[in-house]
Structures are given as C-alpha cells and as structure tokens.
Amino acid sequence: MNSEWYMDAVIYALHVKTFFDGNGDGIGDFAGLTLKLDYLASLGVTCLWLLPFCESPLRDDGYDVAHYERVDPRYGSLADFRRFLDAAHARGLRVVTELVLNHTSDAHPWFQAARRAPAGSSKRNFYVWSDTDRRYAGARVIFRDAETSNWAWDPIARAYYWHRFFSHQPDLNFDNPRVRRAVIKVMRFWLDAGVDGLRLDAVSHLYEREGTSCDNLPETHEYLRELRRIVDGHYGDRVLIAEVNQSPAVTRSYFGEGDECHICFHFPLVPRILAALRRGEASGIADVVRTTADVPAGCQWAVFLRNHDDVSLSAETAAERDFLLASYAPDSRMRLNQGIRRRLAPLVGNDRRRIELAFALLFSLPGTPVIYYGDEIGMGDNVALPDRDGLRTPMQWTADATGGFTTGAVSPIVPPPIDDPEFGYQTVNVAAQSLGDGARDDASASRRASLGASIARMIHTRRKHRAFGRGTIEFLDVRNPHLLAFVRRTADESILVVANLSDAVQLVACDGLPPVERHLAPAAGEPAGTDANGSISMQPISCQWFEISSLRSLTPA
C-alpha cells in the first residue's frame, strides 16, 4: 500500500443523487455512478468524496441522517454501494464518505426514542435537553437565514433540544458515553465496509460548555484522538478529514500533534483566492499560506475552490466580507448565511482564464486539491432555487434532455438541470469537452481546447510531480504585487510556480528567479515568453509551472 496516499491525491466531490441516474427514475444512484467511473478516472482524479447517501428525509440533502448504516433506497442498496466501491477500487480510485456525527435528523430512531424516554434517562440524553432556551448563549447561530436560536421546543419531551444547524437536526450529546460508543460503531461500520476515509462533518461543535462558544472544546479533541487511535490500530491507511470552518490557527488544531485528523479543509484560502482574483493582487494568498504552512508530519490540508455549500465568509473581517459580497454577490439571491451560494464559473464571470488560473493555483499550492463536481466543465448555478440547491444541480453529461442525467424525468427531489443560455446543458456538458489527458487522437480540436481538457491536463501534470503534494513551499520576492511566485520542493525536484493575477502582461525579472530547466506545459493561460534579457513575460490572468534545477539564485520573500 502506498503510504500516506492522501498526500498525492486529487479528490472529486459529488452527490450520488445528482451525478448519474442508472435506472431511469430521475434520481442519481450507485449503479449510475459506477457507470461514470471511467470518466472520473480519465479526468485524472484519484479519490472520490461522496456527499451523504444514508437514509434521510433530505431536508439538508442527507446531512440529516435517519439511519447511519443504511443506504437511502432511492440511491440503491448496500450491495450496490459495495459494487460501486469495488469498481472504484479496481480503477485505483479511493472513496471517502461522510460521518455526520454532530447531529442526526429528528426522524432518527434515536431522537424518536429520546423525546419519549424519561427525562434524565440515558436514552433521553442521547441529545442535549434543557428547560430553558437561555443556556450556552455564547454559541453563534450558524444558519442565521433559517434559524434564530440553537434551541427548539419539543412538545413531546416538553423540553428544549440543542441544534447547531437546522432545527430538524438535533445535536447528539457527546457527554453521554453511549453516544460516543454509538458513533464509533458507525465509524467502524463504514471502515469495515471498505471506505478509505471519513469526512467528519461539523466536527468542531461536538460538545457544549457554558461560558464558551461551544466550538473547539478540549473534549472534542480528546474524542478525536480516540477515533484516531481506532483508525490507526485497526484500519491502516484510512484517513479522517475534519470539516472545521474557523480561523487558520483553530482549524490547524484539528491535526492535533498528528494524532487527530489526517486532513483538514482549508476554508480561509477560498476568500483569499477570490479577493486576489478581484484585486489583481497576490499578497493575501501568500499570507494565508504562510500562516498555515507548518503542519505536523503526515498531515495535509484539503484545498478547494468551491464545495456543496456557500462560500463561507464567517471568518472574514467585516470590511473584507463587504468587499467580497459586493464583488461576487451583487444580487441578494446570491447570498446565504453571510456567504455566497454560487459556483466557480459564474463567480468569475465565466471567464475561462480566471477559472483556469484558480484551478492552477488549487493544484500547485500546498494541500490536496478537492474539485467540486461540474466545476471542471464550468457548470453554472441557479439562484432562483432555495438554500444551496442552485449549486447542487445534476451533472451535465450531454446536450440531450436533462443533460443526459436521466433517461426519465428528473425527480422532484433533484434540483432541475441548469438550462439557461450561458450555462445550460445544451452548451456546457462533458460530451462537448475532452475526456482524459487531451492527447487522444480521436479528440477533436475543440474538445482538446475545452476547459475540461485543460483541467484534466493540469491534473495529469500534477500527478507526475510529487513536489505538488509533498513539497515545501517558498515564496519568492519578485517585487511585483500582481505576481505570485513560489517554489514547491522535495529532495528530488523543484517546481517554480508563477501566477499573474492582473489583466496586463507582467514581466518577471530574471534576477529574482532560479534558472528554468523545463516548462511544464501547460498550467493556465497562454505560454509564458521570455524577453531579450531572459525575463519571463506572463500573459494576463495566467499561471505557469516550471521545473527548476537549482535554488542558488532564489531571493526568498
């Protein structure tokens, strides 16, 4: 087994419900997803992250779990899941699934039993109850567009229960040892089923303590160390991934001393990339990467441009949040809970150069990149749909009805396919773009030139160079605020990355750069040229990767 495989992984996030329908009932399913594994393998991704697929009333797209050990029958059976997993593994694709441990659906049998059990009993105390809605007032309300309090009244229990998210998602009570054991049993169920890792949803909110924000409590870290000991003791190379949307320093604490999660999502990077693209200035990216560069051995950030949620701005300063909202969410329908509910392509004005530049940075900054399904072909969103549904529409495979998602009619539980003139499946679809590395003889010129082909080429290039996944990072002082220049380096290779965030050609003075050995074509945009003095000339909104031989002439920033 490849040790620390996740360091070099390229992750692709998808919801089985919206990926591909295998049986014509209008709902994506495991049979359909299995049929699309060749597409995913040819794109070059190495690991799939499946959004929640357990039995659920789907009031939060499956993050409201009603049964942890059952596949929602609308997506298939556990046997279908296992067939999918085997087929993915046979192609060398790893599979990461969700462990939604902070809360359940109110439809979960644990909650139905708890609300009817005697007050004070262990059954009742699977959840967090109170006679008043005044406790833990220091905890912020996260879904502030939908909820006004973290407490909801239950008429059956005749008590308030605690919920950090929607009121139909009661929080489990981790002070109850039976809850801690029950969650471990669920974790082991999926690890025994063969998944390669688990994303720990909303993991910073497990415990409540008066006088605190009820986030990041020491008890939470203690429980994570317990989960990690089980993974290390019994499951070899499986990984735990923390979904923690806090400041860089707090998020970093979820690595522990290398004894908690293997991977943490790097939430602060997304707003920095968006701000840099808008201002044409690089410094914000370098600053956040520098402050998060130091992680314990064997730990890795997961970097991403977009995911299934809004672009969260909750950790931004008020001024920066206002700037990003004004720049990227001018229409109030694009906003949600202080964040921005849009996909990548529409965010950047469907500007091919900006999409590619963002991906080139994603693939070359430290961390394991995570691609949100459909972003690789430039899918759009639909702000007319509620909540985050507008960026959770079906994958667009072909120009046929429903974008080739289903042979039937799209089910009402699936958001309708995008069909506006700019982003509709009629124009934006996999069939119109090249699969794989773009070098196939049968790929037409236009498919080779497509966004999807560029993204696939970047992924394939990245996979040839371990420095992207494992290298150190050093920023270079190129004395130009529009340029970001850094070197990723392992003992065996060094790769120079230069990005031009501005709308104008920028020259990189050669005295600031190490000698270039080889241009790793292509990153994003037109190839770089050199002028008579050997300076590199960077096209507007572009990124280039170079192999370099020596670090002698570096001028570290």
Q: Which is nearer to ligand GLC, 126 or 425 (CB)?
A: 126
Give the closest residue to 66 by CA, choosing from 28, 111, 97.
111
Rounded Cα gap, residues 307 and 287, in angstroms: 23
Q: What is the largest CA-CA distance in the chain?
A: 83
196 contacts which partner out of Ca ion, ligand GLC, none, CB within 5 to 8 A by kind?
none
**Residues 262-291: x where in contact with ligand GLC by CB under 6 A, - otherwise, as a string:** ------------------------------
Q: Are 417 and 394 a contacting pair, CB within 8 Å?
A: yes
- Pick from 165, 301, 328, 372: which binds ligand GLC (CB under 6 A)? 165
Does 316 contact ligand GLC by CB under 6 A?
no
Q: Active-site residue 547, yes or no?
A: no
Nearer to ligand GLC, 60 or 80 (CB): 60
Q: Is 373 in the site for ligand GLC (CB under 6 A)?
A: no
3-state secondary structure of 363: helix
- Encoded one letter per residue, x for contact with ligand GLC by CB under 6 A and - for no contact, window 223-252 reads --------------------x---------
**Whether 304 contacts 264, CB under 8 Å:** no
Q: How far is the CB of 102 from ligand GLC (least distance, A)?
A: 7
Task: Find the Cα–Cα–Cα–Cα dihedral 334, 340, 341, 342, rounded to 10°.
Answer: 80
63 binds, among ligand GLC, Ca ion, none (CB under 5 to 8 A by kind): ligand GLC
Site size for ligand GLC (CB under 6 A): 9
Quote the tokens at residue 255. Answer: 């690595």
- Tokens in use for 322? 């206002």
Out of 8, 29, 154, 309, point to the residue binding ligand GLC (CB under 6 A): 309
Which of 55, 60, 72, 201 is flagged as catalytic?
201
In the bound complex, which residue of the shown chain has the CB atom lying closest to Ca ion?
29
Q: Which residues, numbered 168-207, are part of the site for ligand GLC (CB under 6 A)? A: 201-202
The b-or-e profile of 180-198 (16+ CB within 10 A means b, else e) is bebbeebbeebbeeebbbb
Which of 63, 129, 267, 323 is in the footprint of ligand GLC by CB under 6 A? 63
CB 94 within 8 A of CB 5: yes
DSSP designation for 311: B
Alpha helix (H) residue ranges in 194-254? 218-234, 248-252
Look up 316 and say whether it is catalytic: no
Q: Which of 243, 310, 356, 387 is catalytic?
A: 243
Where residue 445 falls (left for φ over 0; alpha for ψ -120 to 50; beta otherwise) is: alpha
Q: Which residue among 60, 147, 208, 376 contacts ligand GLC (CB under 6 A)?
A: 60
Smallest gap from Cβ 56 to Ca ion, in A, equals 16
At its nearest, how many Å lie between ligand GLC and the CB of residue 556?
A: 37
Query: What one-character-per-residue DSSP string does 355-424 give?
Result: HHHHHHHHHHSSSEEEEETTGGGT----TTSSTTGGG-PPP--SSSGGGGS-SSPPPTTSPPPP-STTTS
The pairing of beta strand 542-548 with beta strand 483-489: unpaired
Give the H/E segment covering residue 326: helix 318-328
State yes or no: residue 162 binds ligand GLC (CB under 6 A).
no
Residue 165 binds which of Ca ion, ligand GLC, none (CB < 5-8 A, kind-dependent): ligand GLC
Write out the residues near ligand GLC by the rule CB under 6 A.
Answer: 60, 63, 100, 165, 201-202, 243, 308-309
Catalytically active residues, by annotation: 201, 243
